[in-house]
């Protein structure tokens, strides 16, 4: 069973999912603790059942962690802002290998949500 009932299916492209430059809509997000994630992982590792709700809870926590990483990145970028400097789009800054991996991750996420 997929996780679409538990996870909102709003991010469809690597650009949105990984908050590529420029993104002016990213709000600071809460950072889940390692203890919380470890507990969720342990519960899944110990379970022989395939509980979509528990899988979704772990994925949600890891996605909050992801968003927290990128909100830190934007907080740093805000300190560099100037009227003379513009930040090129991530697609131009990132090597192809990185862009390819971003696409693969989004594809796997889609598969998990199916």
What residues make contact with another protein under the rule CB under 8 A? 18, 21, 37, 41, 44-45, 47-48, 50, 55, 58-59, 61-63, 65-66, 69-70, 72-73, 76-77, 79-80, 82-88, 90, 92-95, 97-98, 101-102, 104-105, 108-109, 111-112
CA distance 112 to 55: 10
Q: Minimum Å distance from CB 68 to another protein?
A: 9
Q: Minimum Å distance from CB 9 to another protein?
A: 16
Closer Cβ to another protein, 35 or 85, answer by number: 85
Token readout for 52 is: 């979509």
CA distance 47 to 68: 28
Q: Minimum Å distance from CB 109 to another protein?
A: 8
In the chain, what is the straight-line distance between the N-terminal and C-terminal CA atoms, in Å? 8
Q: Minimum Å distance from CB 56 to another protein?
A: 9
Sign of CA dihedral 53, 56, 58, 61: negative
CA distance 103 to 86: 25
């Amino acid at each position: 069973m997929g996780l679409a009932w538990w996870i909102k299916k709003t991010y469809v492209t690597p650009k949105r999912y990984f908050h590529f430059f420029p993104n002016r809509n990213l709000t600071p997000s809460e950072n889940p603790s390692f203890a919380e994630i470890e507990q969720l992982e342990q519960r899944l590792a110990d379970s022989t059942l395939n509980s979509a709700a528990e899988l979704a809870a772990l994925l949600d926590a890891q996605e909050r962690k992801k968003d927290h990483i990128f909100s830190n990145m934007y907080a740093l970028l805000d300190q560099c802002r100037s009227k003379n400097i513009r930040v090129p789009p991530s697609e131009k800054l990132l090597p192809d290998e990185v862009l390819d991996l971003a696409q693969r991750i989004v594809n796997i996420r889609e598969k998990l949500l199916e």
